[in-house]
């Protein structure tokens, strides 16, 4: 028996990176999974799960468009008849200079990272209520709420906003038997992080990755599947008394002080 047996889960941003890892882990724990993302790659990701014997469908969806999110919810209901879990993972991070970037840089982060979560929750939650309750899991970040680097003002602002969103929505949906929690990843080896490394060190992006790993107490970047296991816990009945909180998964990267004592 898997911890998600009998549950239907919708995962946004599921064509690559953390979202694809979450969808894969959910499926392995027995969930029927609806993978959503803007690009056609999500269809291939769903097909890959089906070839492994899992029940999965892919839906192209732009989470910044509420009507698209409504179509996503209906597609999930058409495929599996119910929705028990929503995992809001779709997000972007483009580094930029606060003083020189235009409004479009700010707005693109808000549209996907904040409005996208808002839209997905608004569109899918009624189906979770109809199913008798369930869980919403949101991907925030250690960036914004705990730490930040130059170039991350837009990203940090939106990811910090998701902490407040999680807490307020958890309070509002608790009477409807829906738990809402979020995960705060540090550096996870994904195409998004690879893109940030290319921006930081165009001549040798791997050098930037190595520098990040060296600063993590556990000595490496995390994997999408490790995030998936945490999300599976939060989506399952194992976390039935947990709501309105955030869990950091960062290999200890937010632990060190500016300078270490006693070494």
Provide the CATH number for the domain around residue 140: 3.40.50.720
Residue that is written with structure tokens 């469908």 in the block? 57
Residues 180 and 196 reside in one and the same domain: no
Q: Does residue 135 share a domain with residue 209?
A: no
Q: What is the mean pLDDT of the chain?
A: 95
Residue 16 pLDDT exceeds 80: yes
Separation of alpha carbons 169 and 105, rounded Å:
27
**Shared domain check, 159 and 196:** no
What pLDDT score was predicted for residue 262?
46
Any idea which residues carry the catalytic annotation? 155
Residues 131 and 211 in one domain: no
175 shares its domain with 156: yes
**Residue 191: per-residue pLDDT:** 84
> Does residue 181 share a domain with residue 200?
no
Residues 24 and 153 in one domain: yes
pTM: 0.94
Task: Tabulate helix, strand, coil % of the chain (nearest 5).
Answer: 50, 15, 35
CA dist 161 and 184 (Å) reads 12
Q: Is residue 262 part of a domain?
A: no
Looking at the fold, whether 123 and 208 belong to one and the same domain comes out as no
| Claim to verify: residue 74 and residue 133 sit in the same structural domain | yes
Domain that holds residue 105: 8-186+224-249
Q: How confident is the model at residue 38 (pLDDT cuts 50, 70, 90)?
A: very high
Query: Is residue 81 predicted with pLDDT exceeding 50?
Result: yes
Could you tell me if 100 and 201 lie in one domain? no
pLDDT higher than threshold 90 for residue 195: no
pLDDT 10s digits, 112-161: 999 999 999 999 999 999 999 999 999 999 999 999 999 999 999 999 99
pLDDT over threshold 80, residue 245? yes
Question: In the chain, how many domains are there?
Answer: 2
How many Å is the Cα radius of gyration of the chain?
18
């Amino acid at each position: 028996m898997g911890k998600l047996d009998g549950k239907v889960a919708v995962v946004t941003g599921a064509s690559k990176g953390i979202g694809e890892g979450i969808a894969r882990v959910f499926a392995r724990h027995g969930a029927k999974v609806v993978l959503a993302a803007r690009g056609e790659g999500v269809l291939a990701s769903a097909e890959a799960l089906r070839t492994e014997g899992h029940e999965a469908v892919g839906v192209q969806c732009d989470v910044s468009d509420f009507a698209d999110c409504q179509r996503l919810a209906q597609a999930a209901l058409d495929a599996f008849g119910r929705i028990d879990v929503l995992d809001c993972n779709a997000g972007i991070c483009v580094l930029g200079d606060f003083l020189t970037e235009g409004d479009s840089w700010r707005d693109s982060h808000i549209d996907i990272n904040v409005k996208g979560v808002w839209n997905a929750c608004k569109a899918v939650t009624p189906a979770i209520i109809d199913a008798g309750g369930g869980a919403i899991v949101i991907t925030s970040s250690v960036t914004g709420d705990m730490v930040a680097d130059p170039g991350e003002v837009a990203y940090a602002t939106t990811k910090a906003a998701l902490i407040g969103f999680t807490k307020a929505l958890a309070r509002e949906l608790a009477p409807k038997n829906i738990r809402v929690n979020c995960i705060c990843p540090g550096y996870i080896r994904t195409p998004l992080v690879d893109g940030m490394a290319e921006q930081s060190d165009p001549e040798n992006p791997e050098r930037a990755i190595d520098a990040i790993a060296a600063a993590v107490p556990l000595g490496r970047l995390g994997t999408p599947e490790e995030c998936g296991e945490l999300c599976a816990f939060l989506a399952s009945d194992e976390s039935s008394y947990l709501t309105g909180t955030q869990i950091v998964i960062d290999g200890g990267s937010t632990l060190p002080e500016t300078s270490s004592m006693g070494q």
